[in-house]
Structure 1
Amino acid sequence: MAVSGSKEFDVDADPATVMAALVAVERLPEWSSAHKTVTIESTHDDGRPHRVRMTASVVGITDEQVVDYTFEGDEKLMWTLVSSTQQKQQDGSYVLTPNADGGTHVAFTLTIDPKIPVPGFLVKKAQKMALDTASKGLIKFVGS
């Protein structure tokens, strides 16, 4: 059963700085406790990551996954699952909009669908952790 969630938050940095932090996917383990390893396997012509292999562990479940990243300028980063040991589907995005005060409004969305039946409360817990990390972890990382 696929589960979707979203979270909107503000970052005290301009959109280019926030996008630069998101593009630095190899640094995900620095601000996302779920991500253990990240390896960029290929890049787009502009040097941004395209295919990325990662190991993530959430609620005691470790997943080896490969995702493809796409971008719409400096406003949107999206990814979709190519392969995974634990998921049938994963799609996510960050949409960045400048604030009047020079900061960035971020809209984060995530859809996951586990391969094996997982109790609903665990899926919801994993989703909450992902949404919190996407906001609090990113805000802290950008500010450091």
Structure 2
Amino acid sequence: MAVSDSKEIDIEADKSAVLDVIADLEGLPSWSSIHKKVKVVERTDDGLPKRAEMTISLLGVNDDQVLEYTWSDDGVTWEMIESSQQKSQTAEYRLTEKDGKTHVFFEMTVDLKVPMPGFLVKKGTKSVLQTATEGLREQVVR
């Protein structure tokens, strides 16, 4: 059963600064405790990550994933191509700029291969949303 959730946050920076941090996939392990290893294996003509391999660890469960990214001026979406623990994963960062700040909307849908207790799924989802928004803000405003 797929689980979806979202979170929003305002970051005191322009949209390009926020996108720069999001696009630095190889830097993720420095500010996201979930990400253990990230390798960009293919880039777009603009140099943005198109496909990446990563190892994540969440609630003691390790997952090796391959994600494919689609970039726009207002954010990025990705889809999981391969995973050891998930049937599917889609996510999106949607950014809007206003008054020198960037409003970040993050949404993710995950379908696990193995059923997990609901309280663990909620705890994991909360951790991912926290990192994807508040962790992102901390990295951008450094």
Using the size of structure 1 for normalisation, the TM-score is 0.97
SS at match of 1:89: strand
SS at match of 2:47: coil
Unaligned stretches of 5+ residues in structure 2: none
* Aligned equivalents of 1:105, 1:20: Cα separation in 2: 15
* Aligned equivalents of 2:134, 2:33: Cα separation in 1: 11
1:93 aligns with 2:81: no
Q: Match of 2:66, as an amino acid? A: V
RMSD: 0.7
* Aligned equivalents of 1:16, 1:136: Cα separation in 2: 17
* 1:137 alignment counterpart: 135
The structural deviation recorded for 1:96 is 0.6
* Aligned equivalents of 1:135, 1:41: Cα separation in 2: 25
Which of 108, 111, 114 is the aligned partner of 2:112?
114
**Same amino acid, percent of matched pairs:** 47
1:83 aligns with 2:82: yes
Q: 1:86-106 CA distances to partner (integer Å, 9 max, x unpaired)?
A: 000110010010022x01000
SS at match of 2:13: coil
SS at match of 1:50: strand
Unaligned stretches of 5+ residues in structure 1: none
* Aligned equivalents of 2:105, 2:14: Cα separation in 1: 15
**Number of corresponding residues:** 142
Using the size of structure 2 for normalisation, the TM-score is 0.98
Q: 1:62-99 CA distances to partner (integer Å, 9 max, x unpaired)?
A: 00000001112x21211100000000011001001002
